[in-house]
């Protein structure tokens, strides 16, 4: 079996993520199994384990703080999350599973790793704000959902006009591996941080500010792709945020995010169109 035994680490991790919303702490068992197996298989080093435990400890500590201490620990946690998500911290050996694959004649090469660092922020931020998973809906549900779905379907057309992508149908052999990784690591991590955490934190200034602020930061997180990608990601982030507002369910924002990414992979050049 390809990537065995290393893939065991992510099987445990995926189960932990899938069960984190359960009342019983089943996810804790699989979380620690993923950490232990990652350490045994040298996916994680002792330094990485200490960094993970430090972030989760900060999140737990933050739940008991007020005043300036609360702002301090939130700031530390945000820095920790950004460094994890951008793979800047030592002690994590992510598994490269797709190397320079090309989905079609007009697509640029695509590589993908199963990350062990980025998904750790999921557990810290849900520990900090467990209410992000389910909250009361806000605004006009039907209008928000219809607007978001129509915008997401139309967004690739804007990408085509900008020259970022082109229509191209492909179903690569690694689509299942991509789907699991994109859904449970990429989409869950990003929705927990940008919608579940930032949009919730910003909501004290009003839902419009919360939606705009979290969407813009989501767009800026894609700065490596240039101004065009920042614009597209900002609009996409606003759509996910509207769905989160309309339903009050974080998993709905995750589902929208993943559906859009899968739609992009199958029907357009992925990740971008080649210049030739």
Q: What's the pLDDT score for residue 102?
A: 96
Render each residue's pLDDT in the chain as its tens digit; 276 residues.
578 899 999 999 999 999 998 767 899 999 999 999 999 999 999 999 999 999 999 999 888 877 888 899 999 999 999 999 999 999 999 999 999 999 999 999 999 999 999 999 999 999 999 999 999 988 777 888 888 888 888 899 999 999 999 999 999 999 999 999 999 999 999 999 999 999 999 999 999 999 999 999 999 999 999 999 999 999 999 999 999 999 999 999 999 999 999 999 999 999 999 974
- Beta-bridge partners for 224: none
Q: What is the 3-state secondary structure (H, E, C) of 26-76?
A: HHHHHHHHHHHHHHHCCCECHHHHHHHHHHHHHHHHHCCCCHHHHHHHHHH
Question: What is d(CA 123, CA 104) in angstroms, rounded to the nearest whole number?
Answer: 36
Chain centre distance of CA 198: 13
For the stretch 160-178, what's the b/e string if a residue is b when 16 or more beta carbons lie within 10 angstroms of its beta carbon? eeeebbbebebebeeeebb
Q: Which pLDDT value is given to residue 65?
A: 79
DSSP run (H or E) holding 98: strand 95-101
Q: What predicted TM-score, i.e. pTM, was given to this entire model?
A: 0.95
């Amino acid at each position: 079996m390809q990537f065995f035994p290393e893939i065991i680490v992510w099987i445990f991790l995926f189960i932990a993520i899938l069960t984190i919303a359960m009342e019983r702490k089943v996810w804790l068992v699989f979380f620690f199994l993923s950490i232990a197996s990652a350490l045994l298989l040298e996916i994680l080093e002792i330094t990485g384990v200490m960094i993970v435990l430090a972030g989760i400890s900060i999140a737990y500590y933050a739940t008991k703080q007020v005043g300036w201490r609360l702002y301090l620990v939130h700031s530390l946690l945000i820095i920790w999350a950004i460094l994890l998500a951008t793979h800047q911290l030592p002690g994590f050996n992510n598994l490269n599973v797709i190397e320079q694959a090309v989905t079609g004649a007009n697509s640029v090469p695509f590589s993908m790793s199963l990350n062990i660092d980025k998904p750790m922020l999921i557990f810290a931020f849900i520990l900090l704000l467990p209410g992000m998973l389910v909250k009361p809906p806000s605004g006009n549900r039907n209008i928000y959902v219809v607007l978001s779905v129509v915008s997401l379907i139309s967004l690739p057309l804007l990408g085509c006009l900008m020259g970022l992508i082109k229509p191209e149908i492909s179903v690569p052999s690694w689509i299942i591996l991509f789907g699991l990784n994109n859904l449970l690591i990429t989409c869950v991590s990003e929705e927990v941080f940008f919608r579940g955490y930032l949009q919730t934190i910003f909501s004290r200034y009003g839902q419009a500010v919360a939606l705009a602020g979290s969407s813009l930061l989501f767009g800026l997180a894609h700065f490596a792709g240039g101004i065009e990608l920042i614009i597209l990601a900002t609009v996409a982030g606003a759509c996910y945020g509207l769905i989160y507002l309309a339903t009050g369910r974080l998993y709905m924002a995750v589902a929208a995010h993943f559906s859009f990414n899968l739609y992009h992979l199958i029907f357009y050049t992925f990740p971008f169109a080649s210049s030739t």
